A and B are shown apart, each in its own frame.
Chain A
Amino acid sequence: MDSSDLTKNMLKNANVLYVEDENGVSLLGEDAFKFATIFEKQARRPMKHGIISPQEKEAIPIMQLIVERVLGGNHNPNEVLYISTPADPIDVDMDVLYHKKTMEALTKRLKYDARVIDEGLAVIYSELGDYNFTGLGVSIGAGLTNVTLAYMASPLMSFSIGRGGDWIDAQVAKATGLSVEHVTETKERVSELNSKVSVGSPEGALNIYYDALITYIIENLKKKLAYISPPNVAFPVAIAGGSSLPKGLFELFERKMQTANLGIEISKIIRAKDPLYSVARGCLIAAKTMEEGQTLSKTQTKNAEAPNAKKK
């Protein structure tokens, strides 16, 4: 939008979040989606397929802004921070390393002791504590679906697939002729996957593509598990991520997992307590564990040094 005082006043009165640069005013967050739907335009996104979008030239400044707004507050110097990144995707030709390095640099700039963790492993840390952090963590996000198999908190296998909520939106938009933004809005409104839907509604297509996504995840998991020899234990499965929110999806996932012959024993399928924050919680657990471990080792070193000091 043009950067005029009138526009800025209007946005200020409407409580709309925006940023301004030499090219004009750009709206951010939920409001950007709303405006895009009204003006039938496509919302620009700083991330695509779970990584910083290579097609979006403003992606890095926007990501920088987000990181600064979220993490820029008061904190101890060199406080441990864990950031989750996707594992290497198996069906999309993209490399997550550059994204990982950029995110690391963005957070290190804010004087954090930044470390990187796989998204699937973060789900395991958050949800599978009662199972000694052994199991399968599945995070169905917007751009990617991340899967990690861990044994005693150590990852045995990690991969991501290039399908998630965005893929569902794109497929439904293609099938129904609606805009992606409209489908996204409907998807977030739909609280339950139901087989009884009205003709021509996007809900019907959403049902089909959620089913297809879960089948795709399980088939890829089966393929990847065939290449490894995990320990002979029963693995619980935790499912999390923003795209796992609709009611009925967990039940669908559970049904499909029980009938799929994965080659490993599945003991239980768990839905994350809070699917939207599960990955963030896993990162926080990792950071807290690391920080407490560091504090403990520092104390132990001090205690070990103290008698020596006295001797001197």
Chain B
Amino acid sequence: MRLGYIGRLIEEYGEKGLSRRGESIYYVGTVLFVAGLILLAVGFGSIIFYQIHYESEKSVIFNTILIMGVGLIVIALGINFMLNQGRKSHYVFSTGGILSTAAVILFVLNYQTNWYYPTISYVLALYLSGFTLLLGNVFGNVTLWLIHNSSEIKERTMAAIKREYTDEEINRDIEEAVRKSIEKAGNDLQLDFVDSDRLRVGVSSADTESEVKIRDTMSETQMLKKTFDPGDTDEWGNMGIEKASSQLYDLLKEEQSFQKPSAFASFKKFFSRNH
């Protein structure tokens, strides 16, 4: 009943504050976390400073364990406060906090007078279960947060991909699909000319028609064939070779015109002109 009441309280608080993750809660968590670390550091400092061992002074052992035990709880609580948690997490978090705090209180009450087994086992078990709940809650929340974030990234990526399709692109895709469909329908089309002999040509048609005759070597045919099939070989004396030869001749002739004539060529030219 009491737990339920506290849970409800946390729930209410969560609805008002924790769930909304105000900045102050985050700072409280951070302060707790830092305080826990300090306490833990003080505890370790005490171990080193007093060189604690089995036969050390009871008060020194008590204080050191108390500082370190409280420090660990405060660290776990701090991390829990920093996380944005759901309703169930609040229950786990508060249970863990209560159990570990109860263990610390029992330790304080029993250490001086009644610190024997099985009391030690019960207190240690209580503390460990409380601490495990707090750490487990952190672990669970972080895992959920990672899963949520990765799915959010995926959603965002998907959304980004979706956003790449602009209206213009969608229209273009539709037009392309329609074009393909029309083309397919066109290819399947079987056109039949029913009234093919309806028109009778006038008697003078023969006199008005004439044949146009043009002499053309159509050398482009060989060249086009060569362009489509470059691996093909040419026969000696065909148009392709003739064309390539004439092009080479023109090129060499052009180059020669740029070259300076030799002294012998000028001499020869002079005499041939005089002759």
CB-CB under 8 A from B202, the residues of chain A are 8, 11-12, 16-20, 25
Q: In this assembly, does B272 line the interface, its C-beta being within 8 Å of a C-beta of chain A? A: no
- As a 0/1 sequence over residues 244 to 273 of chain A, the CB contacts with chain B under 8 angstroms (1 = contact) are 000000000000000000000000000000
Cβ B189 vs Cβ A101 within 8 A: yes
Which residues of chain B from 180 to 218 have a CB within 8 Å of any chain A CB? 182-183, 186, 189, 191, 193, 195-196, 198-205, 207-209, 212, 214, 216, 218
Q: Bound state CA distance, A191 and B258, in angstroms?
A: 40
Q: In this assembly, does B164 line the interface, its C-beta being within 8 Å of a C-beta of chain A? A: no
Q: Which residue, B189, B203, B221, B225, has most C-beta atoms of chain A within 10 A?
A: B221
Q: Bound state CA distance, A25 and B200, in angstroms?
A: 9
Q: Given A8-B202, A21-B198, decide whether A284 and B218 contact each other with a Cβ distance below 8 A.
A: yes
Interface stretch, picked from A92-100, A171-179, A197-205, A213-221, is A92-100
Cβ A153 vs Cβ B199 within 8 A: no
Q: Which of A22, A109, A130, A281 meets B216, CB within 8 Å?
A: A281
Q: Bound state CA distance, A162 and B245, in angstroms?
A: 43
Q: In this assembly, does A234 line the interface, its C-beta being within 8 Å of a C-beta of chain B? A: no
The 9 closest A-B pairs by CB, nearest first: A129-B220, A105-B191, A18-B202, A17-B208, A19-B199, A289-B224, A288-B221, A153-B227, A20-B200
> Chain B: residues with CB nearer than 8 A to chain A?
182-183, 186, 189, 191, 193, 195-196, 198-205, 207-209, 212, 214, 216, 218-221, 223-225, 227-229, 243, 247
> Chain A: residues with CB nearer than 8 A to chain B?
8, 11-12, 15-22, 25, 29, 60-62, 64-65, 69, 95, 97-98, 100-102, 105-106, 109, 125-126, 129-130, 132-133, 152-153, 274, 277, 281, 284-286, 288-289, 292-293
- 18 A-B interface contacts by CB (under 8 A): A11-B202, A16-B208, A17-B201, A17-B208, A18-B201, A25-B202, A29-B208, A61-B195, A61-B196, A64-B193, A97-B186, A109-B193, A133-B223, A152-B227, A274-B214, A285-B220, A288-B218, A289-B221
